[in-house]
Amino acid sequence: MMHNVPKPLNSNRLLATTACVAFLFVLIAACKKDKGNDFTGKLMNKWSLVQILDTVYSSGAAPVPAKYDGKTDEYMDFRKDGKLYSFIQSTYDTAGYTYSEANFKLNEKGFQYEIQILTDNTMVLHEPHFTTSTLAYHAYKITLKR
């Protein structure tokens, strides 16, 4: 008759288990830290302009969209120094900008954009506002890609 005799507990097993738990803890903490910088990491890039869409909504009239399709060399380059370098419609520009990860906002030259989409390859900025001089609502949307 054969009996299974348990092997004695090896102290190296306890050490290995402790090391694995510590490694997993460090790995999880590092992943959480990276996610916090994920927004900034995605934003801080040179983005190619795909399209600018400015739609005007007036009382009693149909919406009037004005679409501009970006050219191959047009871009918006968000830098870590708080500057936005851009080349759009044959014009170079540099402007300061701020952004908020908490509420997905980007402020640049008086424009207050909502960041509707921000992935590794696509960003969509939307800036709705009401113009008192024309009593019209404008929806300004910029689509960018990398």
* Contacts for 34 with CB less than 8 Å, ≥ 6 apart: none
Provide the CATH number for the domain around residue 102: 2.40.128
Mapped onto helix, strand or coil, the DSSP state of residue 26 is: helix
Q: Is 88 in the same domain as 105? A: yes
pLDDT per position as a tens digit, 82-103: 999 999 999 999 999 999 999 9
pLDDT per position as a tens digit, 95-124: 999 999 999 999 998 889 999 999 999 999
Task: Report the C-alpha gap between 66 and 78 in whole angstroms.
Answer: 25
Domain annotation covers residue 1: no
Domain annotation covers residue 110: yes
Q: How many CB atoms lie within 10 A of CB 111?
A: 14
Ramachandran quadrant class, 90 (left: phi over 0; alpha: psi -120 to 50; beta: rest): left
Domain count of the fold of the chain: 2
- Dihedral sign (CA 101, 138, 130, 75): positive
Q: Is 25 in the same domain as 64? A: no
Q: Is 48 in the same domain as 21? A: no
* Contacts for 3 with CB less than 8 Å, ≥ 6 apart: none
Instruction: Quote the pTM value.
Output: 0.71
Parent domain of 29: 10-42
Q: What pLDDT does residue 115 have?
A: 96
Residues 93, 108: contact at Cβ < 8 Å?
Answer: no
Q: Is 91 in the same domain as 19? A: no
| pLDDT category of residue 36 using cuts at 50, 70 and 90 | very low
